């Protein structure tokens, strides 16, 4: 078990992670002063598999019944936020209450926005139960919900007071959800260093079969990387933009499919492939490096098709994304193995060509495994 610290404008918070971390949940909450009530927020599906562990870990602190809501991406809306806030009010939550968010990225995003908004702010503890939440979305204080026009367009920066990430929850994940989270791990080795990239190339098979040591390596490596980045740039004014590798295109793809066609990680995987093709076309990487990146992305598994989604529609959605500047799309592109640069503007035609070529590159990289 390890502990990492994350600096934020609101103070430093800790991430307790590794096997057995969930046993520390009650102790983590007890460090908060004058907590008048603990309210678990989760989904029916997650609570079915994880609720007994959370109840046991909370002990008498978790006497209130959990507040459950739909954790599908299409339900990540202001209406759900209102529903949860009203449930908290009916349950008697006050300003000294603590919310424990138990679930994946959607639960964390909604619970985080609720915590930021309810009574103008209550304490938040994340207990992420998916890989993508443990290594990415629970860290850094981003919260938010979707609008029909795009993903995460309404939200707030609201850091938690603590995160408790235990890989025990990953063993019950369905295969597609598990692989979806692995794409965020692939992102971290692409923005990290060449040694970690090479390690994952060699050990991806172990990670895919959920070998405890390999999975914990990926988890700890990714958490360490994100904690360091967001501690230096909480509000995404500079360095934190590297975390958007694959997300420029990925968020647009999710929106175009009404959040049903691609899981988050699958959309990010396509985004990493498109960004790699753009980097190759602009001579930022060579063909050998591009092939290694594509092969690592595709080593996770086959991706749902992007055929039938018009590139011009995706371009329009990317321009409307919160990461664009005055409608100008800023890309994060690889400049080597384990290195990226950010804030790059690319001509539309080159982007369209990369989108059109991506399915063939995915097919070839998958076949080369």
**What predicted TM-score, i.e. pTM, was given to this entire model?**
0.90
The range of the structural domain enclosing residue 201 comes to 176-367
Same domain, yes or no: 192 and 301: yes
CATH number at residue 73: 3.40.50.1970
For the chain, residues with pLDDT lower than 70 are 62-63, 368-369
DSSP one-letter string for 20-42: TGGGGHHHHHHTSTT---EEEEE
First to last CA, the chain: 34
Query: How high is the mean pLDDT of the chain?
Result: 94
34-82 pLDDT, tens digit per residue, is: 999 999 999 999 999 999 999 999 987 766 799 999 999 999 999 999 9
CATH number at residue 359: 1.20.1090.10
Give me Rg for the CA atoms of the chain.
20
Same domain, yes or no: 356 and 235: yes
Whole-number Å distance between alpha carbons of 145 and 151 = 7
- For the annotated catalytic residues, the residue numbers are 120, 142, 184, 226, 236, 240, 244, 247, 251, 264
Would you state the pLDDT for residue 321? Answer: 79
3-class DSSP assignment, residue 193: coil
Are the CB atoms for 135 and 109 separated by under 8 Å? no
Same domain, yes or no: 70 and 27: yes
Whole-number Å distance between alpha carbons of 116 and 346 = 36
Number of H helices, E strands in the chain: 13, 11
Which of residues 132, 147, 172 is at a domain's end?
172
How many domains are contained in the chain?
2
> Who's near 75: CB < 8 A, 6+ residues apart?
69, 106
Same domain, yes or no: 159 and 186: no
DSSP letter at 262? S
DSSP letter at 265? H
């Amino acid at each position: 078990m390890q502990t990492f610290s994350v600096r934020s404008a609101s103070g430093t918070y800790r991430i307790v992670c590794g096997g057995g971390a969930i046993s520390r949940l009650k102790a983590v909450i007890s460090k908060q002063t004058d907590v008048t009530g603990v309210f678990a927020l989760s989904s029916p599906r997650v609570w079915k598999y994880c609720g007994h562990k959370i109840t046991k870990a909370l002990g008498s602190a978790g006497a209130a019944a959990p507040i459950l809501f739909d954790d599908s991406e299409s339900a990540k809306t202001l209406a759900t936020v209102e529903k949860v806030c009203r449930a908290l009010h009916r349950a008697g939550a006050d300003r000294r209450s603590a919310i424990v968010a138990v679930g994946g990225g959607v639960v964390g995003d909604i619970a985080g926005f609720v915590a930021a908004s309810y009574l103008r702010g209550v304490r938040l503890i994340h207990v992420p139960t998916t890989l993508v939440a443990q290594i990415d979305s629970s860290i850094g204080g981003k919260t938010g919900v979707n609008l029909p026009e795009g993903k995460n367009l309404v939200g707030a920066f609201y850091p938690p007071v603590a995160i408790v990430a235990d890989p025990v929850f990953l063993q019950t994940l369905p295969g597609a959800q598990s692989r979806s989270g692995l794409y965020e791990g692939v992102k971290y080795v692409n923005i990290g260093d060449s040694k970690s990239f090479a390690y994952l190339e060699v050990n991806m098979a172990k990670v895919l079969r959920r070998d405890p040591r390999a999975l914990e390596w990926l988890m700890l490596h990714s958490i360490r990387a994100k904690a360091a980045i967001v501690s230096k740039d909480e509000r995404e004014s500079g360095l934190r933009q590297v975390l958007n590798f694959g997300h420029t295109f990925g968020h647009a793809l999710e929106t175009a499919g009404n959040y049903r066609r691609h899981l988050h990680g699958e959309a990010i995987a396509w985004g990493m492939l498109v960004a790699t093709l753009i980097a190759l076309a602009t001579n930022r990487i060579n063909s050998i490096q591009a092939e290694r990146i594509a092969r690592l992305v595709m080593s996770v598994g086959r991706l749902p098709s992007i055929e039938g989604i018009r590139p011009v529609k995706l371009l329009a959605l990317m321009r409307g994304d919160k990461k664009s500047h005055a409608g100008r799309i800023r890309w994060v592109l690889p400049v080597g193995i384990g290195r990226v640069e950010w804030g790059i503007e690319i001509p539309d035609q080159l982007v369209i060509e990369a989108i059109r070529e991506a399915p063939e590159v995915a097919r070839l990289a998958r076949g080369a495994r």
